[in-house]
Amino acid sequence: MQYRSIGVFDSGVGGLTVARAIMEAMPGQDIIYYGDTARMPYGDKPPEEIMRYARQIIEFLIGRGVGAVAVACNTSSAIAVPVIGRDFDVPVVGMIECGAAAAAEASRSGRIGVIATANTVRSGAYSRAIRGMRPTARVVEQACPMLVPMVERGEVSGPDVRNALSEYLQPLLEANVDTIVYGCTHYPFLEAEIRAMAGASVALVDPAIKVASAVKAAIGEDGSRQTGLPSFVTSGDPSAFAELVSTLLGWKMQEVEHVNLDAIGAHAGEGDMLGRPDRA
């Protein structure tokens, strides 16, 4: 699998936190990132739609020659990966097991909070996975429906963000959790505000590092390559996507490809090229 790209996808820009972790862990690998911004958010959509979206995107990425896919979306990881994850000829790595393992390791008391989308919370995936690794754990899951739209607007601080976080974090802090798992890849962009509210004694767990390690173990890496190339695809507005990535991560996006899988089919290989990205 050496020199084959790694596919990463999310409903929007949140999965870029996973792409960044993979790029840091495997600097010689090329990355193809698909942000499904035209159909986001996934957090309140029916499970059958989530599975259809995930299958479409994974098939698209495989068509682009990837050697592994990181499902950098907790909603898709909770709902689709257990059902369709073994249907493909390349490794498919989800967020849930990785996040659960990191939380089980980080927690001193076994009181663990999970903040996630409504669909991820309804699935109970994190509770099952954490208790599978740490049976005595007490897991408190909290749906946070307002957070993804805020991040997708580039709103990662300020009074509206703090008000939303106050509502969502209060039940976890009242339960005396000592660890909070980011059950959505968008939430690391809110870490400064979450840290200020949770306090220094609460461990904040981003599953992205564990996901990067799992992808590296699955695909391997040729150390002779010093720098891989990222490429970016979105189902939504390429210019808006590029601007948001620049705002959140500081990467200068010269070009983003537009591919609407509903319009052209799951095996689409052609899109409207707006150029090739590079990083600041």
The answer on 202 and 101 residing in a single domain is yes
| Residues 152-182 pLDDT 10s | 999 999 999 999 999 999 999 999 999 999 9
| Residue 86 shares a structural domain with residue 220 | yes
Given 16, 57, 66, 73, which residue is catalytic?
73
- Quote the mean pLDDT of the chain: 90
Is residue 279 situated within a structural domain?
A: no
Residue 134, SS3 per DSSP: coil
**39 in a domain, yes or no?**
yes
In a domain, 74, yes or no: yes
CB of 44 within 8 A of CB of 116?
no
Average pLDDT rounded to a whole number, residues 80-86: 96
Residues 89-101 have pLDDT tens digits of 999 999 999 999 9
Q: What is the pLDDT of residue 226?
A: 62
Residues 173 and 44 in one domain: no
The pLDDT value given to residue 266: 42
pTM, full prediction: 0.88
Burial of 152 by CB count in 10 Å (0-12 exposed, 13-18 middle, 19+ buried)? buried
Check whether 69 has a pLDDT greater than 60.
Answer: yes
Does 270 score more than 70 pLDDT?
no
Structural contact between residues 157 and 192, judged by C-beta atoms closer than 8 angstroms: yes
1 in any annotated domain: no
Q: How many domains does the chain have?
A: 2
CATH of the domain at 72: 3.40.50.1860
Residue 273 has pLDDT above 50, yes or no: no
Cβ contact 79:51 at 8 Å: yes
Same domain, 101 and 199: yes
**CA quadruple 45, 47, 51, 53: dihedral, nearest 10:** -10
The sheet that has 111-116: what strands, in order across it?
138-143, 111-116, 179-183, 203-205
Q: Give the per-residue pLDDT at 251.
A: 84
CA distances from 62 to 10, 175, 205 (A): 15, 43, 30
Last residue of a domain, one of 165, 180, 206: 206
Q: What is the mean pLDDT of residues 224-245?
A: 86
- The answer to whether position 105 is within a domain reads yes
Let me know whether 180 and 104 are in one domain.
yes
Share of the chain above pLDDT 70, in %: 90
- Asked if residue 278 belongs to a domain, the reply is no
Is 98 annotated as catalytic? Answer: no
Pairing of strands 31-35, 6-10: parallel
Are residues 120 and 189 part of one domain?
yes
> What pLDDT does residue 225 have?
60
- Whether residues 146 and 53 share a domain: the answer is no
CA angle 71, 50, 78 (to 5 degrees): 55
Domain range spanning residue 254? Answer: 6-94+210-273
Q: Answer yes or no: do 117 and 148 share one domain.
A: yes
End-of-domain residue from the set 182, 206, 230:
206
Mean pLDDT along residues 9-33: 93
Please calculate the CA angle 139-141-144 and round it to the nearest 5 degrees: 160
Where is the domain boundary, 183, 206, 229?
206
Span 223-248, average pLDDT: 85
Quick one: 191 and 102 in the same domain? yes
Q: Is 134 in the same domain as 260?
A: no
Chain segment 97-136, per-residue pLDDT in tens? 999 999 999 999 999 999 999 999 999 999 999 999 999 9
Q: Using CA atoms, how far apart are residues 21 and 16, in angstroms rounded to an integer?
A: 8
Active site residue 73: yes
Do residues 67 and 102 both lie within one domain? Answer: no
Considering the candidates 40, 72, 143, 184, report the single residue annotated as catalytic: 184
271: pLDDT strictly greater than 80: no
* The predicted structure's pLDDT at residue 7: 97
pLDDT (0 to 100) of residue 275: 36
- Go through the chain and tell me how many residues it has: 280
